[in-house]
Chain A
Amino acid sequence: MKLPSIAGTISFKLSALYLLLFLCSFLSIGVTVYWSTSHTLEQQLKISVDTEAVRLKTEYDSGGIAELKDEIDEVDEPGLHTLFEYGVIDQNTRLIAGSLTDFQLAEGWQIVKRNPATKKPGSKLLYIRVMALPNNIWLGVGHDGGYIQNAGEAIIQAFIWGFILVIFLGAGGGLYLSGAFLRKIKSITTSTQAIIAGDLKHRLPVSENLDELDNLALLLNLMLDKIGSLIENIQQVSNDIAHDLRTPISHLKFRLEDALTRNLTTKQYTERIAFAIEEVDTILNTFSAMLRISQIESGSRRSGFKTVNLSEIVVSVIDALQPVAEEQEKTIRADIEKDATLSGDKELLTQLAFNLLDNAILHTPRNTQISVTLRSSGTHTELMVADNGPGIDKDYRHKVFQRFYRLEQSRTTPGNGLGLSIVAAIAELHEGTLALFDNKPGLKIVLSLQSK
């Protein structure tokens, strides 16, 4: 599998999106700051110019042109530092007082580009308030507005630098994050490829800080553990099948070859053929049992669950096996609670009870006492099969439910090692639990099922 380039990673795309959003908001803040700053500055300037113009108009109104001229001369003295510039012009465009001339004879605000030749350098814009005074006299009060432009430019410049910084930091951060993300993904990919290639023991790397990816990796590792044990189980089972079927098949082959090479009587041939059929039946039985287990394990029978009376089932199984036990000089003691019902499959529960009891009869010596107990509470039903036979060593107890597993002591008794595996599969289908205990002496198997 090919990894995406950095630009293609999710973290990069996310960082890029965040960066874009951030830049957009940054830009809108810039525009707002620029606009409101220059607007406020302009307003302040206009207010102060207006106030000055009105003051001069009052001077004119009270003292006429002479008073106005005096006032202007006084404040516009070259040595005196004032920010205002003044100009009073009559109808023939003759400058009567002050120095400001470059305005139109029209009431209102005028913004003019500063004539570079004027005495006050450094500013480019002039805001002029033009006021018509009686007797066709025009008063112009100007103020340098260059600083407003300068402030605006400074704001724009600051934002441009900020913009550049944000882009660098954002993109760099994004790249760094994507890089870290990609490195992690890459190590997971490498591990996965190793697992695909057949190294089922390989696990995904998990770092110490346990972020979301690590949690995911931990989960995947757990899944791999589970799959691993399932595969091991399957391998074990197929090995067992191969091994377990080889023995009867080689017996069969040996007998058939032997029969073929000898000159036998018809009766002897019949015997050999009967033996061969018996062997084949053993093999077929093993197959049937295997198929039955896998069909039970598939869980499809669950859909056919009905209310069944486990008490009746257990009683019928004891009834069927009682003579067998007696024949082998073993006794069965039954303590069955009546009408223990649960939701299940009657046929399979019968087989379960049969196998448990049959097993107890088959694998115990003469004079063994076997007890079958069925107890039912409101929530649980417990079926207990206990004997006072030799029991099973603690270390081997958990193994008896494995397919084909046979204890050393029972190798000589007939069986295929699947009886208790079927029991386990049926118990699992009914969501029941099976446990083996030391009966001191002997073995006690307890099946616990949910009552209905």
Chain B
Amino acid sequence: MKILIIEDDNETRDYLSMGLKEAGHGIDSAKDGYEGLLLAKEAKHDLLIVDRMLPDLDGLTLVKTLRSTGCHVPVLFLTTMCGIDDRVEGLNAGADDYLVKPFAFSELSARVNALLRRPRETAEQKVLLVSGLEIDLLKRVVRRSGQIIDLQPTEFRLLEYLVRHAGQVVTRTMLLENVWDFHFDPKTNIVETHISRLRTKLNAGNKSDLIHTVRGAGYMIHEAA
């Protein structure tokens, strides 16, 4: 996959491109907004990583301009930690996801993978099937090996998110944002507690673990059926 990084800070840019290259992506990079916009307009990238603060042309304007020209490539927006309004602004401008600096590389990597795989789930699915798990989205019923598992609404949403991102690492922050709609960092680890309850319910009857903990990164459900 080809990724374009538009970031003026040399260190961050090098850190990102090195990490993403190691993960097997092709990387282009730009130091400022104009250069970034020119490269993005060539439309050969699968994903853009855009910093909010850029010299000449800021990230918001860049994304807006790009979207107005009909370019729909996924955009991951990077914001500084003090900008709590930046998230809404970035998403309104047309970004698909955002990440607050400073972030762990594992977090970025998980978001990048989620964005790159996005097109696949656009088809409206009524039933999700993964590793012997069956989730009926309409009836909101979960079965494992044919047996109905009784889940609370939050547990259902949590499982649905994990299954929709099967094969990808899902971070704690991604879960907080998408399952609970919490856009702050709760010190108490509610994600772990809920995951552990969900696990207990899914594993009832000595079944093997479906949700895998990826150390230092997050959780994952394997894709293989």
Q: Please list the residues of chain A having a beta carbon within 8 angstroms of any beta carbon in chain B.
A: 274, 277, 284-285, 287-288, 291-292, 294-295, 300-301, 304, 316, 319-321, 323-324, 327, 347, 350-351, 354, 358, 361-362, 414-416, 419
Contacts and interface: CB of A to CB of B under 8 A. Distances in A.
A295 B82 contact: yes
A295 B81 CA distance: 11
Contacts of B180: 316, 320
A362 B188 contact: yes
A351 B102 CA distance: 21
A117 B100 CA distance: 119
B188 A321 contact: yes
B181 A321 contact: no
Contact of A321 (B82, B85, B185, B190): B190
Given A284-B102, A361-B188, A362-B188, A350 B181 contact: yes
Contacts of A274: 216
Given A287-B81, A316-B180, A354-B184, 19 more contacts: A288-B81, A288-B100, A288-B185, A291-B81, A292-B84, A295-B85, A301-B84, A301-B85, A304-B85, A304-B88, A319-B152, A320-B180, A323-B194, A324-B188, A324-B190, A351-B184, A358-B186, A414-B187, A415-B187
B67 interface: no
Contacts of A351: 182, 184
B188 A358 contact: yes
B81 A284 contact: yes
B69 interface: no
Contacts of A347: 84, 183-184
Interface in B174-220: 180-190, 193-194, 197, 216
Contacts, number: 67
B131 interface: no
A320 B154 contact: yes
Interface of B: 81-82, 84-85, 88, 100, 102, 104, 152-154, 180-190, 193-194, 197, 216
Q: Which of A277, A321, A354, A416 has the most CB of B within 10 A?
A: A354
A-side binding surface: helix, strand, loop or mixed? helix
B-side binding surface: helix, strand, loop or mixed? loop
Given A288-B185, A414-B187, A415-B187, A300 B85 contact: yes
Contacts of B104: 277
Contacts of A419: 187
Contacts of B182: 320, 350-351, 354
Contacts of B100: 288
6 contacts: A277-B104, A284-B81, A291-B81, A319-B154, A320-B180, A323-B190
Q: Which of B104, B188, B197 has the most CB of A within 10 A?
A: B188
A288 B84 CA distance: 10
A414 B187 CA distance: 8
A320 B190 contact: yes
A300 B216 CA distance: 35
A449 B170 CA distance: 37
Nearest to B88: A304
Contacts of A323: 190, 193-194, 197
Contacts of A327: 193
A424 to B, nearest CB: 15
A295 B180 CA distance: 23
A321 B191 CA distance: 10
Nearest to B176: A320
Contacts of A284: 81, 102
Contacts of B186: 354, 358
Contacts of A301: 84-85
Contacts of B152: 319
B88 A324 contact: no
Contacts of B84: 292, 295, 301, 347
A277 B102 CA distance: 12
